Amino acid sequence: MAQAYMTETGTGGSGPEHRSRVRRLLDDWRRGFRDRSVWRRGLVVAGLAVLLALIMALHSRIPNRIGNIGSLTETFLPWLGLFVPVLLVLAVVRRSATALIAVLLPALVWVNLFGGLVFDKSSAGGDLTVATHNVNAENSDPEGTARKIAASGAQVVALEELTGEALPTYKKVLAETYPYRAVEGTVGVWSKYPLSDSRSVDIKMGWTRALRTTVESPKGEFAVYVAHLPSVRVKLNAGFTAGQRDNSAEALGVAIRDDKVRKLILLGDLNGTMNDRALSPVTSQLRSTQGAAGDGFGFSWPASFPMARIDQIMVRGMEPVKSWTLPETGSDHLPVAASVEL
């Protein structure tokens, strides 16, 4: 009998002392509202939420004087949104109404900044499809990479980080689809349409990593710029080292500004995102196809786990209709493509 009694009322029973964790949490919230402790708890979490909201809302005010911390923040700005659910959980666990309300602030700021990128803005149509790809100088399969690019369906393709050893392979494989090409230094354009007036563009690097050409399409001529801006690094003793990239972006922006052609496309690896203020000499003049007609963020680097879109397709005098990333190749970047109305 004693054993039977323990089975009915022991630790495995369903009495008040064994309520579910959710029920206990709800009861704690009710008591907290009665004694107003929900407003006094969680002030640290609330403070962190307000700080996060300020960082996102005022990212352009974060100074670059010390380690280019402003540009570094803007490079990975969308990822700050991951802190919102973390703060939300902490607010619930701390049973703090103050923290819950405060967490709404960074959530609303993030939606205001990036909510438009979450939805698919692409549409059908387009007179022209273009693609750009940093093929990686250490790519062990340039032939396979070239074939994947040729299968993209793009009429104009830009490649960056071409090496002397791999260039003949790209020329040979891409010639089957693209009869016209222009190569300057480590960047090149392959086209189904004739090219003219091809020349290098000085972006203050000491060697050629940018070019400009004219594409003569059935819908009319337009200028194509291809650029591979200098790499950036994050160093403990120096911060976000991007000085050379910033100088090159300014030089590229001047070249685009002085170009009198109305219709223009910029393709390339800019080693920076559209949020990075240091690229404003370029981004302020052109329209991002991803921002206007993309589906999601379109992150392109690194290919194994994309965290930032540093490969860009930008236009002037054209209407973007679709923007997307292409499947992984042998590079550490994903190719990106876009369709536009000429």
What is the arithmetic mean of pLDDT over 108-113?
A: 97
Would the pLDDT of 203 be above 70?
yes
Under 8 Å between Cβ of 340 and 316: no
Structure confidence at residue 6 (pLDDT) = 43
Quick one: CATH architecture of 128-341?
4-Layer Sandwich (3.60)
What residue segments make up the domains of the chain, in order of their start? 2-116, 128-341
Under 8 Å between Cβ of 272 and 71: yes
Would the pLDDT of 236 be above 60?
no
Under 8 Å between Cβ of 335 and 308: no
The Cα 27–Cα 38 span in angstroms is: 12
Q: What percent of the chain has pLDDT over 90?
A: 77
pTM of the model: 0.86
Arithmetic mean of pLDDT over the chain: 90
Residue by residue, DSSP assigns 270-297 as -SS-TT-GGGHHHHTTSEEHHHHHBBS-
Q: What percent of the chain has pLDDT over 70?
A: 88
- 30-65 pLDDT tens trace: 666 666 778 888 999 999 999 999 999 999 999 988
Contacts 24+ apart (CB under 8 A), 178-182: 178/150, 182/211, 182/213
Would the pLDDT of 244 be above 60?
yes
Sole residue written with tokens 């009861």: 27
Q: How confident is residue 23, by pLDDT bands cut at 50, 70 and 90?
A: confident
- Give the CB-side neighbour count of residue 62, counting CA atoms within 13 A: 23
Closest by alpha carbon to 52, among 80, 72, 78? 80
Would the pLDDT of 10 be above 90?
no
Beta strands of 59-166 (E only): which ranges? 128-134, 156-160
Structure confidence at residue 270 (pLDDT) = 97
How many C-beta atoms surround the C-beta of residue 24 within 10 A? 10
- 293-324 pLDDT tens trace: 999 999 999 999 999 999 999 999 999 999 99
Sole residue written with tokens 């710029």: 225
Closest by alpha carbon to 172, among 190, 154, 155, 187? 190
